[in-house]
């Protein structure tokens, strides 16, 4: 396997994890190993593998060669020592939180704006299990530190770019405050990808990604991954092997293939998002645009400090003026090229209606407190020609304007 941490991210994306030698030949790409179990010529060898005395495979709930190659690839991109692939992004989030709280106070301080399913996991799954969550705004340093000091959490949880309001968390400040109060830091960096930010380099303890989004990038993989240091391996492996939320080898193969073009895709998506966000901001039917690359964005100083120049992510959210649920549905139905579906980070541009999907399970009042009204949409820029994305948005907005008027 080719793995040099001195290599640039673009090179690691193509080569990390691949080319493990098998007998006298080396496959150019990692094969799909679909076997559930493995044996050796001598049973004593299998016993030593089970005991972790020597490396090897024994049972695919414990590990799989294809999945392991993907884990090495993602760990290299994030600058982590170790990664664990899971069956979904939410499974990865669950494992990361449980792993962080294994020997710590069962309490979390979380960002006030998060993916809807993450909020539900904190409140409806971890809450009844005795893990208390307090929400605070990581972009308000005084309020955030007060919450951490009062709650004394075992860990804090933030998203690098918050879903769907696109606030950018000051990860370096979040880490400093958390560690000063003996709390670990879990970061969902799905929207940013390692191309924009590597939270572990800023001191975060565990980083979570939905593989389904930018990393795999083609809308054909459901998966997640946790990247961290070796000290968390025993706890995370024990939870994963017992719960069984493992990624399959076919999904791992597809994800690994997708990651190889991540730097190319993400750079194009960032560029397209800049073009589309600028155009939306001038359209008379658009009331508000949220985009980290906007010079008027509330977190512009954080963006300039933490993100590479010109890379602000591929996500945009916006509000359609004087539109309600009916007008939003009409707009989505009028799209001809843009895909009105539930996901993001694909090569094709996608539009999602959070009140219907990503934040559906939250009450209307909760959504309003987060800033998600009935006229709110989230757009994930693809790699198409930006002119075509804009043309499709314009014709759909024009049709919506006729309905609204």
9-259, what's its fold?
3.40.640
Percent of the chain with pLDDT over 90: 84
CA-CA-CA-CA torsion sign (361, 364, 365, 367): positive
pLDDT in tens, the chain (405 residues): 454 457 899 889 888 887 666 666 788 889 999 999 999 999 999 999 999 899 999 999 999 999 999 999 999 999 999 999 999 999 999 999 999 999 999 999 999 999 989 999 999 999 999 999 999 999 999 999 999 999 999 999 999 999 999 999 999 999 999 999 999 999 999 999 999 999 999 999 999 999 999 999 999 999 999 999 999 999 999 999 999 999 999 999 999 999 999 999 999 999 999 999 999 999 999 999 999 999 999 999 999 999 999 999 999 999 999 999 999 999 999 999 999 998 999 999 999 998 776 677 777 777 777 778 889 999 999 999 999 999 999 999 998 765 544
Task: Please tell me the predicted confidence (pLDDT) of residue 3.
Answer: 46
Closest CA to 258 of 314, 214, 194: 214
Task: Please tell me the predicted confidence (pLDDT) of residue 66.
Answer: 96
Q: Are 362 and 371 in contact (CB under 8 A)?
A: no
Cis upstream peptide for 164 (omega within 30°)? yes
Task: Exactly one of 18, 115, 205, 378 is catalytic; name it.
Answer: 115
Task: Please tell me the predicted confidence (pLDDT) of residue 17.
Answer: 82
CA-CA-CA-CA torsion sign (363, 169, 201, 253): positive
Asked if 115 is an active-site residue, the reply is yes
Residue 2: φ, ψ to 5°: -90, 120
Task: Please tell me the predicted confidence (pLDDT) of residue 22.
Answer: 60
Sequence-separated (6 or more) residues with CB below 8 Å from residue 201: 79
Q: Are 178 and 72 in contact (CB under 8 A)?
A: no
Task: Exactly one of 19, 61, 241, 360 is catalytic; name it.
Answer: 61
Q: What are the helix (H) ranges across 228-310?
A: 233-243, 249-259, 262-282, 300-306
Task: Exactly one of 120, 213, 265, 285 is catalytic; name it.
Answer: 213
Task: Please tell me the predicted confidence (pLDDT) of residue 371.
Answer: 76
Q: Per CATH, is 262-404 categorized as 3.90.1150.10?
A: yes
How wide is the angle at C-alpha 310 spanned by C-alphas 373 and 4, nearest 5°?
A: 115
Asked if 257 is an active-site residue, the reply is no
Burial class (CB in 10 A: 0-12, 13-18, 19+), 373: middle
Asked if 61 is an active-site residue, the reply is yes
Which tokens sit at 397?
Answer: 């907005």
Task: Please tell me the predicted confidence (pLDDT) of residue 24.
Answer: 67
Q: Are 112 and 135 in contact (CB under 8 A)?
A: yes
What radius of gyration, in Å, describes the C-alpha atoms of the chain?
A: 22
| Domain ranges (residues) in the chain | 9-259, 262-404
Strand order in the sheet with 376-380: 286-290, 315-320, 376-380, 350-352
Strand 315-320 to 286-290 pairing = antiparallel
Asked if 188 is an active-site residue, the reply is yes
CA 369 centroid distance within chain: 23
pTM of structure: 0.92
Closest CA to 189 of 38, 271, 43, 80: 80
Which tokens sit at 344?
Answer: 């993001």
40: left (phi over 0), alpha (psi -120 to 50) or beta: beta
Gap between the Cα atoms of 324 and 281, Å rounded? 19
Gap between the Cα atoms of 72 and 199, Å rounded? 17
CA 134 centroid distance within chain: 21
What 3-state class would DSSP assign to 32? coil
Task: Please tell me the predicted confidence (pLDDT) of residue 359.
Answer: 73
Are domains 9-259 and 262-404 of this chain identical in fold?
no
Gap between the Cα atoms of 33 and 315, Å rounded? 35
Gap between the Cα atoms of 93 and 376, Å rounded? 26
Task: Exactly one of 18, 120, 188, 294 is catalytic; name it.
Answer: 188
Task: Please tell me the predicted confidence (pLDDT) of residue 181.
Answer: 97
C-alpha separations of 354 from 46, 142, 313, 332, 379 in Å: 49, 29, 19, 13, 10
* Helices 386-404 + 262-282 axis angle, to 10: 40
């Amino acid at each position: 396997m080719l793995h040099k941490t001195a290599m640039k991210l673009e090179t690691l994306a193509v080569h990390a994890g691949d080319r493990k030698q098998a007998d006298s030949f080396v496959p150019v790409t990692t094969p799909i190993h679909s076997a559930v179990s493995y044996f050796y010529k001598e049973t004593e060898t299998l016993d030593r593998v089970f005991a972790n005395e020597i490396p090897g495979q024994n049972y695919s709930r414990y590990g799989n060669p294809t999945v392991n190659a993907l884990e090495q690839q993602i760990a290299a991109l994030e600058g982590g020592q170790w990664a664990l692939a899971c069956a979904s992004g939410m499974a990865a989030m669950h494992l990361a939180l449980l792993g962080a709280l294994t020997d710590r106070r069962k309490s979390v301080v979380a960002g006030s704006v998060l993916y809807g399913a993450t909020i539900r996991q904190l409140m409806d799954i971890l809450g009844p299990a005795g893990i208390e969550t307090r929400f605070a705004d990581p972009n308000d340093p005084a309020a955030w530190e007060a919450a951490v000091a009062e709650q004394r959490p075992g860990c804090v949880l933030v998203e690098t770019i918050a879903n769907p309001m696109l606030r950018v968390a000051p990860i370096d400040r979040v880490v400093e405050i958390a560690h000063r109060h003996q709390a670990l830091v879990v970061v969902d960096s799905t929207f940013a990808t390692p191309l924009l930010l590597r939270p572990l380099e800023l001191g975060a303890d565990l980083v979570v990604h939905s593989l389904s989004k930018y990393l795999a990038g083609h809308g054909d993989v459901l998966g997640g991954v946790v990247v961290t240091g070796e000290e968390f391996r025993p706890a995370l492996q024990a939870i994963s092997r017992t719960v069984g939320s493992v990624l399959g080898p076919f999904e791992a193969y597809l994800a690994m293939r997708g990651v190889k073009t991540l730097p190319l895709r993400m750079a194009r998506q960032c560029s397209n998002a800049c073009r589309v966000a600028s155009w939306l901001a001038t359209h008379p039917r658009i009331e508000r645009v949220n985009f980290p690359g906007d010079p008027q964005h509330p977190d512009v100083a954080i963006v300039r400090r933490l993100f590479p120049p010109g890379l602000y992510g591929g996500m945009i959210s916006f509000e359609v003026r004087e539109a309600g649920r009916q007008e939003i549905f009409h707009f989505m139905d009028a799209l001809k090229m843009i895909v009105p579906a539930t996901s993001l980070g694909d090569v094709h541009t996608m539009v999602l209606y959070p009140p219907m999907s990503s934040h559906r399970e939250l009450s209307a009042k909760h959504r309003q407190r987060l800033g998600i009204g009935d006229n709110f949409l989230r757009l994930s820029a693809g790699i198409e020609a930006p002119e075509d994305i804009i043309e499709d948005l314009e014709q759909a907005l024009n049709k919506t304007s006729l309905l609204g008027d």
